[in-house]
Structure 1
């Protein structure tokens, strides 16, 4: 049986205002509360989204072009950007229709009941923790490159984990949004520095191809890079829940996808053209030493804040689950702050332990992305449209009256399923090959 806060009626737009939204949303009316969550403007949400999504994932895009060729690689990046914009729209519409939804777990409750709620909530936390660990490893590489690997790699990860923990500790995204501004500038400038460095020191001789023949395993392994470079939709509901005007959420999504797609294409093309088919993943490793160090150093704030956003998201899901409808949600109580700090510490500690303690951690990030991010970013958005159009209208007859929308929604679900299955397959096969070739190190190794 569904809990009471999932049995409310839908909010709806009248003119440019949402009627009924704040009566039933997760944070309710916040007048007089000590801690106010719904303070974000659409501009700050766009900054948060960019800081979270446009991060270390883009550094693998040039290597994807090297595997499939510049033409199909660029087409794929642009297509995925358009596809992610469409699924963003579906997610935002579902959130406006269901203000009580705070995270993917809540959405799972509406679609599939209690089991769906737990599965999608687990997936959100799982992916957020692994993504935090991925950012810690990006910080590790950056610090190691700057210091010429003078310390144990695990120590670099620990050093980077401390500020990540501190930055993820604010209770609201509003505090993190201002830190995200320099994070966005950092990854933008780092990308520009990387491209300038590649153009100043091009690899000679180099091979640049329009198309490259490849088998399915090799091609799809490289395709996962651009697919997961857009994998930030699992945070959309949580971010929109803290907006002053949720009806402006698509403005944030348009800015995000426009910036991400444009930057991805330019960065991937320039790095691939000047470095060629031997471009590494991450691409900054292929740069001349001083340019590599400059780019890594500038990018550090982005890795730090992106990791903090992921850890904050995982903590926030548990916190809302524990204190929903409780006075501790909006007050500076000892219990509220105690539980919050404990959750933040646990999520960051878990990310650190997994990142340094599991030799195949990067493969596990790929599995988590395949199992969950493929659905959150792509597939499940179609299910949201099918659910609401079915229940708001006349069931299947509504789908028949809107055949194009219904077909697109079904294709979106199928696309999510394909990415999930194929991505999991190539990642598991990659793990098997890594063990077979002796490429797997020891846990907690330097």
Structure 2
């Protein structure tokens, strides 16, 4: 059956339903027609989606950016942050166009089925769940560091992780993203204020005799290890399909994505530059840990809501993918049934428990996050977007001739795929080498240790 194109240009000429969604969109959309349903998913405005995107992406990852500048230098580091932000905006546009063209896509797994068939669906769905669980674990570790700083390290680190895991699990429980959207406003406010506090603290009490380099000459291994920080600070595209699927007006999705990328790129660049200039080349990752104790506590304390909400969003996404896969086109998706709620609560518990066990039980968990990011986030954020455009242009028009006709866009998409492949391969190489070096130096602790 021929698919209809729902690009933005076509919306104005189409009849609009009462929900302001394009006519015919709900017939293929993952959640279908929701009139009269107990649980309605498609309720988000683009403004709330933008806030959700910011809450998910602008989190503990930004705290590693000043240390990246310390490795490559101030100017190359800022150029890289801005370039990756512009690049992520471009791939966001490709992703949104693909979603509007294919309303049935709910996750990267669904997109994988369109691009590569059943095997593609399973691989990308698996990658989404794995990366979401690892990202949840990363937020648990961020919470661990924050709680330890706030209490002067009086408890075992594993206990801090367990304490933080409980509210993370509870915040994951709402069935719809609308249930998390207003909490995300608090989350975004907390990371903005925490970052400002961190920059002010660095300015008030800068590191004495600090070294600030405009450009640093370093090895490929050290440089790429540092480059992965800004690369993966933008790694949130794997949730975009899920968020757009719960919008009232999916045609407004690019407004949310553009708001996210503009804010993230600007905030990342300013925070990284100011923090590095005042703390110098000895700045730690996360950078709040380089601040004097009183400022460190203030910054971490204010950032806690963001760490909580980001972890909850990741666990929610992993659970939502499996839940929708099981109950798609079933009454349990939209009704308050015992089976539906029982399955949802079980999945939420399972995803959060997996993240907790990995975070405290695997000594090389931080490195495994790097491996998962290289394998999946490099593609989800960058590389796979090129396939989206090439696929639709080929099938909607006259195949290879369409690619030749729009050669500039074709070239950009091929380069996007190549960049994703490079980040994937190089990221795997440097992460695996870092694991070997860490074991050789005795830096790896025992499982479930303090």
C-alpha separation in 1, matches of 2:29 and 2:142: 36
**Aligned equivalent of 1:190:** 194
**Aligned equivalent of 1:345:** 349
Q: Does 1:57 align with 2:61?
A: yes
- How many residues align? The count is 440
For the structure 1 residues 70 and 30, does the alpha-carbon distance in structure 2 shift closer, same or farther, using more than 3 Å as the test? same
**Aligned equivalent of 1:106:** 110
**Aligned equivalent of 1:313:** 317
Alpha-carbon RMSD across the aligned residues, in angstroms, is 0.8
Q: CA deviation at 1:309?
A: 0.0
SS at match of 1:434: helix
**Aligned equivalent of 1:10:** 4
Q: CA deviation at 1:15?
A: 1.1
C-alpha separation in 1, matches of 2:163 and 2:292: 26
C-alpha separation in 1, matches of 2:4 and 2:47: 26
SS at match of 2:209: coil
C-alpha separation in 2, matches of 1:8 and 1:255: 33
C-alpha separation in 2, matches of 1:402 and 1:138: 45
Q: Does 1:298 align with 2:299?
A: no
- Determine if contact 1:11/1:20 at 8 Å carries over to the other structure: no
Identify which of 284, 289, 293 aligns with 1:289: 293
**Aligned equivalent of 2:184:** 180
TM-score (norm 1): 0.98
**Aligned equivalent of 1:3:** none
**Aligned equivalent of 1:372:** 376
Deviations 1:152-176 (A, max 9, x none): 1000000000000000000000010
Identify which of 118, 141, 158 aligns with 1:154: 158
**Aligned equivalent of 2:17:** none
- Determine if contact 1:77/1:261 at 8 Å carries over to the other structure: yes
Q: Does 1:81 align with 2:80?
A: no
What residue ranges of structure 2 are gaps of 5+ in the alignment? Answer: 15-21
Q: Does 1:267 align with 2:271?
A: yes
Q: CA deviation at 1:14?
A: 3.3
Identify which of 330, 335, 342 aligns with 1:326: 330
C-alpha separation in 2, matches of 1:271 and 1:101: 40
1:112-151 pair list within 5 angstroms: 112-151=116-155
For the structure 1 residues 194 and 316, does the alpha-carbon distance in structure 2 shift closer, same or farther, using more than 3 Å as the test? same
TM-score (norm 2): 0.97
Large movers: runs of 4+ above 2 Å: 7-14, 16-19
Deviations 1:343-372 (A, max 9, x none): 000000000000000000000000000000
Identify which of 235, 248, 255 aligns with 1:251: 255
- Determine if contact 1:96/1:246 at 8 Å carries over to the other structure: yes
Q: Does 1:230 align with 2:234?
A: yes
- Determine if contact 1:240/1:249 at 8 Å carries over to the other structure: yes
Q: Does 1:220 align with 2:217?
A: no
- Determine if contact 1:11/1:21 at 8 Å carries over to the other structure: no
**Aligned equivalent of 1:394:** 398
C-alpha separation in 1, matches of 2:406 and 2:259: 28
C-alpha separation in 1, matches of 2:11 and 2:103: 15
SS at match of 2:103: coil
